[in-house]
Amino acid sequence: MEAAIAAAPAYVYDPDVPYDPNNEEEVRAFWSKAKLVMPGEHRFQQHGRKND
């Protein structure tokens, strides 16, 4: 594990990410709007219910 950590880059550039993952403030601002969805709560996991 220590070898993997030592081999990890100090800086990551990912143009597909809308924030700089190396900037803690940008990461917090981006994920502050996230909503936790528990198993079964996602709209694609909810089955349509018919009225009786």
Is it the case that residue 25 has pLDDT exceeding 60?
yes
**Overall pTM surpassing 0.85 (yes/no):** no
**Structure confidence at residue 41 (pLDDT):** 81
Overall average pLDDT of the 1-25 stretch = 86
Overall average pLDDT of the 33-52 stretch = 74
How would you label 18-50 residue by residue, b for 16+ Cβ within 10 Å and e otherwise? eeeeeeeeeeeeeeeeeeeeeeeeeeeeeeeee
With a pLDDT cut of 70, the percent of the chain lying above it is 85
Give the SS3 label for residue 27.
Answer: helix
Overall average pLDDT of the 1-30 stretch = 87
Give the separation between CA 36 and CA 23, rounded to whole angstroms.
22
